[in-house]
A and B are shown apart, each in its own frame.
Chain A
Amino acid sequence: MTLLLTLPALLLLALVFAVPLLRYGWLSFHADSVITGLQPLPNGGANWLRLIEDERFWQDTVQTLRFAGLSVALELLLGLALALLLHQSWRGRTALRTITLLPWALPTAVMALGWRWIFNDPYGPINGLLQVLGQPALPFLSSPASTWLVVVLADVWKTTPFVALLLLAGLQSIPTDLYEAFALEGGTPAQALRRITLPLLLPYAFLAVLFRLAQALGVFDLVQILTGGGPAGSTETLALYSYLSAMRFLDFGYSATVMLGMFVLLLGLTAVLLLGRRLLAGGRA
């Protein structure tokens, strides 16, 4: 009877999550593009063979992993620092918590354009500052290396507050008498951070990394608007590639295959993360 109450929600969930993935599985074994008149025709494993030999797919995989790895690492470090700052009791920390939340609340799509303007050559404020200092303006968004870093910066700016809040919840869950006992035993604050805070924070950090890594691997809004994948495809991610395959090249069969390729990557990384956590937990027990 009570199972009935869950049914409407579970139906919508199945429609939104399960049906698409099954559909991609089916589409990935069909040619469905302009060439076939946008009709799906079975083509065996041609899409998958193409995927394996597709240099663009592998290049985008590397770029996506690189972006996700650096972004999440920075978010974890800065998020921890911010959480420690917000955890201390001082006047104004509630106000600061509200202010740090603002970047997280704004639409990625909107701030992506904001960053494009901030790094504009030569009229953006960063280049304005450089020129005031007597330096030449830098074309930040024309060279692959600096464009990539701008994308990372925009992501870190937006999502560090989220990581910080998760870690803050973790900090607040640690009983204070633990620290008192540790201090009585003659432990220094630095030792307490290493011996008490960080180990007890681990489950929260793990959850933050899991969530952020999955989201960062699917990064789309940011690159589509900030760089369009450029210059020369150097910031294109897998999500953007599959989007372009479908919406620009109208190759739906291959787009579905790219998305499934990304899904497999995601599953693999999650498995590694779960295994890593188990090893870490086992090592301490």
Chain B
Amino acid sequence: MRFRRLAVLMVLLWSLLPLLWQLYTSLRTGSALISPQPGLSGWTLDNYRQILSGDPPFWRFLLNSTVVGLASTALTLLLAIPCAYGLQRQPARTRALLSGALLAAAVFPYVLLFLALLELARRFGLANHLLALSLPYAGLSLPLAVLLLGAAFRDLPPELEESALLEGLNTWQRLRWVLLPLIAPASASTGLLVFLFSWNEYPIALTWISRQELLTLPIAIARIAGSSVYTVPYGAFAAATVLGSLPLLALVVIFQKPIVAGLTQGAVK
């Protein structure tokens, strides 16, 4: 018992201290941060005021990331659900082959693709278009999404679709009215993972977007810190981190179960 309590305490400190340090930094004045004996004074909201009144104001980046995240999630599900369903209807060998390819793509370190994707963006005029980011994001999310949703379709009893077939429902009707409601939990898990991925994605957003008012959150925060070579404005950066992390913290706390289900489902199936 005592050992477990100690272990839990260590896990809590390990997970939370770096985050709490950001919160602390964001609430301190610059001079309090570099003073050797930080006293009780020196607390401030100036760091938040500074980034919220910046040009563009910080909420703009939150909005950008939300828009990209939602668009990528919608596009991924729109493509992945029919694909996963269609995949289950293929002969075993085709299915195994495609599943293997999808697994390889899901594991692939996608940063390797950035240069060719940037070339494509330039050729088709997609650079500096916020919504265009959802194309690579959906493409990169598809392998995992199709695998997760495929597993969900496979778990449904086959009699279900047979009886729907007897009722005279066509493929679209079966998918929309019978199967879709039943794979809603898997769709939610998948959607959450895609949203988190899009929200956090760095190399593609870094190379596709250069206009300040279109930056997504990670790039905007990295730019705040990179604005000066010698001294990073850590107070403003920490405030940006706190504001940029709050939506994610809320998502994780509210949707812990489906997120964990999505992360582990791939391994269990």
Contact = CB atoms under 8 A, between A and B. Distances in A.
A80 interface: no
Nearest to B251: A105
Interface in B59-96: 79-80, 82-83, 85-87, 89-90
A242 B120 CA distance: 18
A170 B268 CA distance: 7
Contacts of B80: 9
B112 A262 contact: yes
Contact of B171 (A1, A24, A170, A263): A1
Interface stretch (A45-53, A94-102, A182-190): A94-102
A217 B86 CA distance: 33
A101 B252 contact: yes
B110 interface: yes
B245 A106 contact: yes
Contact of A16 (B11, B33, B140, B241): B140
Contacts, number: 225
A97 B253 CA distance: 10
A114 B115 contact: no
B165 interface: no
Nearest to B143: A13
A2 B15 contact: no
B40 interface: no
A8 B138 CA distance: 12
Given A109-B218, A214-B107, A9 B82 contact: yes
B8 interface: yes
Given A116-B232, A162-B263, A9 B83 contact: yes
B107 to A, nearest CB: 5
Interface string B98-111: 10000001111111
A103 B15 contact: yes
Interface string A183-226: 00000000000000000000010011011001101101100010
Interface in B220-236: 221-222, 225, 232, 234
B115 A17 contact: no
Nearest to B86: A5
B172 to A, nearest CB: 10
- By DSSP majority rule, is chain A's interface helix, strand, loop, or mixed? helix
Contacts of A36: none
B48 interface: no
Interface stretch (A55-63, A69-77, A251-259, A275-283): A251-259
A100 B12 CA distance: 8
A211 B108 CA distance: 8
B264 to A, nearest CB: 4
Interface in A18-40: 19-21, 23-24
Given A12-B79, A85-B7, A117-B234, A110 B218 contact: yes
A123 interface: yes
A8 B202 contact: no
Given A218-B110, A255-B115, A110 B241 contact: yes
B171 A217 contact: no
- By DSSP majority rule, is chain B's interface helix, strand, loop, or mixed? helix
A263 B87 contact: no
Given A5-B85, A102-B249, A157-B18, A217 B263 contact: no
Contacts of B113: 16-17, 20-21
A82 interface: yes
A221 B139 contact: no
A111 B142 contact: no
Contacts of B11: 82, 85, 96, 99-100
A263 B112 contact: yes
A113 B221 contact: yes
B139 A13 contact: yes
B267 A169 contact: yes
Contacts of B120: 15, 19-20
Nearest to B199: A107
A105 B36 CA distance: 33
30 contacts: A8-B82, A12-B79, A16-B113, A16-B135, A16-B139, A16-B140, A19-B120, A20-B117, A81-B7, A102-B15, A102-B19, A102-B252, A105-B248, A105-B252, A107-B199, A109-B221, A110-B244, A111-B241, A113-B241, A118-B18, A165-B260, A169-B267, A169-B268, A173-B268, A214-B107, A220-B203, A221-B218, A239-B109, A242-B112, A256-B115
Given A117-B237, A123-B34, 5 more contacts: A5-B171, A17-B105, A99-B15, A106-B19, A217-B109
